[in-house]
Amino acid sequence: MTKSKAGNTLGTNDITLLVGITAIIVLFNIITHNLFFRIDLTSEKRYTLSQDTKQILRNLDDIVYIRVYLEGDLNIPFRKFQDNIYDMLDEFKVYGKSNLQYEFINPFEDESQQMQQKIIGQLYEKGLKPTNIHQRDREGAVTEKIVFPAALISYKNIEVPLNLLLNNPGAGADQNLNNSIESLEYNFISTIKNITAKQTEKIAFIEGHGELNEMEVNDISHELSKSYQIDRGIIHGSPGILDEYKAIVIAKPVSQFSEQDKFVIDQYIMKGGKALWLLDAVQVSLDSLVSGETMAFISELNLNDMLFRYGVRINPVLVQDIQCNVIPINMALRGNPVNFQPVPWLYYPLISPSENHPVTRNLNMIYCRFANTIDTIEARKTIRKTPLLSTSQMSATKKVPALISLEEVQQTPQKKNFTDSHSLVGVLLEGSFESVFKNRGLGQYFRDPPKIKEQGKATKIAVVADGDIIRNDIRYSSQGPSIQPLGYDRFTRQTFGNKDFLVNLIQYLADDKNLLDLRGREFKIRLLDKEKLSSERSKWILINMILPSLLVMLFGFLFHFIRRHRFSVS
C-alpha cells in the first residue's frame, strides 16, 4: 500500500511539474511575441549596429541585393573575414527584412580556365579589385590563388561596386584584415545610403582662379558623384550664388581672388557652408623641372587675411621629408638612349594620416607634391583645430624663392638637417567663424553693398597646404587622354590614400559625421600563437575530440547513479 501511494504521489508531482513548465513556456512566448531584442556579449560591441544604420535599413522602400564574391576555398584569415561579412549582413537583414537580400558567390566555381578568366575580367571591369592569397599545406608547399574580397550592391537600376579589403602597405596582413573588419558596417551602409537616397546634395568646385581643370580632378569627381551632384563654376562676385551647395572645393588656385569673390565665399561660410581649401603657398613649375631645374616662388592668392581670420596660416616654405615618394630621373650618359629610373625625391613627402580621427583612420599614406606647412592661430580659441596630416619625424623646410634642381637627388640626406617633426600639412577647423569683412565697408566692391553677416553659424572647413593632393595624372596616347586613379603612382605601382582621404573629408564636411564615426570603431586583434598552434596541434585535436565524449559519459553515469539512489525501494 505504501509503495502504491508513493508511486501515485510521484506521478501526480510529475504531471503538475510538466503542466507548470508548459504554462511558463506558453506565457513566455506570448509576452515575447512582439518583443525584439539582441544581446551583444563582445567587449567592443562588434555586433551592435549604430542607430543610423538601423534607421537606414528600416526605411528601405525596395530590395537592396548584395552579391559578395568572397566564397570558395579560402585560407583561415580570409575565412574569418568572410564570417564577419556573413554576421554583418545577417544583422542588416534583421532590420532591412525582405528589402535586404544577399548571397555569396564563388566566381571560380566553373573549372574551365577560359571561363574563369572571363569572369575575372568582367568583375574587374565592374570595379571589383582582386587580391592574391597564399596557403601552406602540412608538407610546407605554398599555393597561390586569386580572391575577390568585394561585393556588388544593386538597387532598382543602380549597381555599385564595393571593395571590402583595405590594403595599406605600411600595415601587416593581419592588421589590414582587422581594419577591413572594422570598416565593414561603414562601407556597406554608406553605399546603401548613397544608392537609395531620394535627394542628392550638391557640391561645387570653384573656378575662375586657375584651379585644376575638370580632367585633373576627374577621378575624385567621379567618386563623389556616387553620393553628390558635382557642379563647377565661376563665382562672378555674386552674393548667394553658393547657398544651395552642401560644400565647396577650392582646388589649387594659382591667381588672386578678388575681394568680391572672397566676400561670396566668406558669407557662404558665415551661413554655415562648408569649404575645403587645397592651396599652394609656393608655385613650382613641373614643366620647367623636366629640363633639370626650376624656380620656386611665393604664390600670391590674396587669401592670407581670410585664412588668418578663420584660424590658420599657410607658410610659404617647401616641405622636405626623408619619408618620400620617387621621381623619374634620366640616368643615361650623354649620347646614350634615355634610361629613366625612379629615385627618392624629398619634395614629394608621404604623409602618414592621423589615427585619431574617423576621416584619416586606417588610411594608406597620402602622396603630396611640393607641400607647405600650416600654423594654427592660438588666438582663435573658439575654433576647434584638429590635425589631419603631418610630416614624419624627420622633415625640414626650404625657404623661397629658391632654385629646385634634379641634381639634388645625388645628395645623400643628412639626418642632422631634418630636425622638424610632425609639421602640420592638413587641418580641420570647426566652430563659429568670424567674417574677414567685419567692420569693413563694401562700397568700393559692390555698387549696391550687401549686408554683412559678421559672425557665422557653427560649421566646418578644412585646409590642406598642397593643391596637388587632389590632382589625378593624365596619360596621353594615340587613343586620347587616359585618366589615372587618384593617388596611383605608375613608377612604384602603388595607390596611395589620397582618394579615400578626400572622400572621407568631404563626407565629414557635408554632415555625414554620424556614419563616418563608424570608421572610428576599433576591434582588438586576438591572434592565435602560430608556434604553439603548430607544435601542440595533435594535443588540442585529441582534447577537443575526446574530452566532450568523456564529459557526456560522466554526466550520463552520474545521472543514472543519482536516479537509482533516489528512487530505489528501501
The three-state secondary structure class of 463 is strand
Please give the share of the chain, as a percent, with pLDDT higher than 90: 45
Q: How confident is the model at residue 143 (pLDDT cuts 50, 70, 90)?
A: low
Check residue 388 and give its pLDDT: 95
Most confidently predicted of 16-30, 127-141, 254-268, 379-393: 254-268
pLDDT band of residue 26 (cuts 50, 70, 90) is confident
pLDDT for 461 beyond 90 = yes
**Averaging pLDDT over each range in 251-265, 319-333, 537-551, which range is the top one?**
251-265
Check: CB of residue 265 under 8 Å from CB of residue 248: yes
d(CA 146, CA 139): 22
Name which of 162-171, 262-271, 426-435, 448-457 the model is least confident about. Answer: 162-171
Query: What average pLDDT does range 329-351 have in this prediction?
Result: 86
Identify the top-confidence range among 17-21, 159-163, 477-481. 159-163
Q: Can you name the residues that pair with 229 across neighbouring β-strands?
A: 202
The better pLDDT of the pair 266, 77 is held by 266
Q: What is the CATH number of domain 200-497?
A: 3.40.50
Decide which of 172 and 316 is more confident: 316
- Which residue has better confidence, 414 or 559? 414
* Residue range 182-217, pLDDT digits in tens: 888 888 998 898 888 888 889 999 999 999 999 999
Distance CA 358, CA 505 (A): 9
Q: Which residues are within 8 A (CB) of 469 and not within 5 positions of it... i.e. 6 or more apart?
A: 278, 366, 367, 368, 369, 371, 498, 501, 502
Contacts 24+ apart (CB under 8 A), 411-418: 413/322, 413/346, 415/322, 418/320, 418/321, 418/322, 418/394
pLDDT band at 3 (very low <50, low <70, confident <90, very high): very low
Identify the helix (H) or strand (E) that includes residue 202. Answer: strand 201-207
Residue of higher predicted confidence among 557 and 38: 557
Lowest pLDDT segment from 134-138, 350-354, 485-489, 540-544 = 134-138
pLDDT of residue 6: 45
Domain limits, the chain: 1-35, 51-194, 200-497, 531-567
Beta strand pairing call for 201-207 and 228-234: parallel
Using an 8 Å Cβ cutoff, are 165 and 150 in contact?
A: yes
DSSP code string of 346-399: EEEEEE---SSSTTTTTPPPEE-SS--EEEE-TT-TTSEEEEEEE--SSEEEEE
Q: Specify the higher pLDDT residue, 175 or 522.
A: 175
What single-letter DSSP state applies at residue 288? H
Among the four given CATH numbers 3.40.30, 1.10.10, 3.30.70, 2.40.50, the one describing domain 51-194: 3.40.30
Task: Classify 64 as helix, strand or coil.
Answer: strand
The neighbouring-strand residues paired with 386 are: 428
> CA–CA separation, 502 vs 497, rounded Å?
9
Residue with cell 574569418: 80
Helix (H, G, I), strand (E, B) or coil at 297: strand
Q: What distances in angstroms separate CA 513 from CA 449, 506, 507, one per listed residue?
A: 36, 10, 7
Residue 11 pLDDT level (bands cut at 50, 70, 90): low
Q: Show the CA angle centred on residue 99, arms to residues 96 and 104, nearest 5°.
A: 90
Between CA 343 and CA 409 the distance in angstroms is 7
Q: For residue 171, report the phi and psi dihedrals to the nearest 5 degrees.
A: -115, 155
The HSE-up count of residue 191 (CA atoms within 13 Å, CB side) is: 22
Asked whether the predicted pLDDT for residue 9 surpasses 60, the reply is: no
Which residues neighbour 297 within 8 Å (Cβ) at sequence distance 6 or greater?
A: 282, 283, 400, 401
DSSP track, 77-141: HHHHHHHHHHHHHHHHHHHHGGGEEEEE--TT-S--HHHHHHHHHHHHHTTPPPEEEEEE-TT--
| CA distance from start to end of the chain | 14
- Kindly report the average pLDDT of the chain as a whole number: 85
pLDDT 10s digits, 150-161: 999 999 888 989
Answer whether residue 522 shows pLDDT above 80. no
- Cell numbers at residue 40, please? 551583444
Q: What is the model's pLDDT at position 1?
A: 43
Stretch 411-439: mean pLDDT: 92
Residues 435, 436, 439, 441, CA torsion sign: negative
> Could you tell me whether strands 424-434 and 455-464 are parallel, antiparallel, or unpaired per DSSP bridges?
antiparallel
pLDDT for position 258: 95
| 391, 422 contact by CB (below 8 A) | yes
pTM: 0.76
Which pLDDT score, from 0 to 100, does residue 151 have? 92
In degrees to the nearest 10, what's the CA dihedral of 400, 294, 254, 325?
-90
pLDDT surpasses 90 at 234: yes
Can you tell me which residue has the cell 567663424? 433
Q: Is the pLDDT of residue 114 over 70?
A: yes
Q: Is residue 529's pLDDT more than 70? A: no
Mean of pLDDT values over 120-126: 86
DSSP three-state, residue 226:
coil
CB half-sphere exposure, 440, CA atoms < 13 A: 16
**What average pLDDT does this structure show over 483-506?**
91
CA-wise closest residue to 294 among 327, 261, 267, 264: 327
Under 8 Å between Cβ of 338 and 290: no
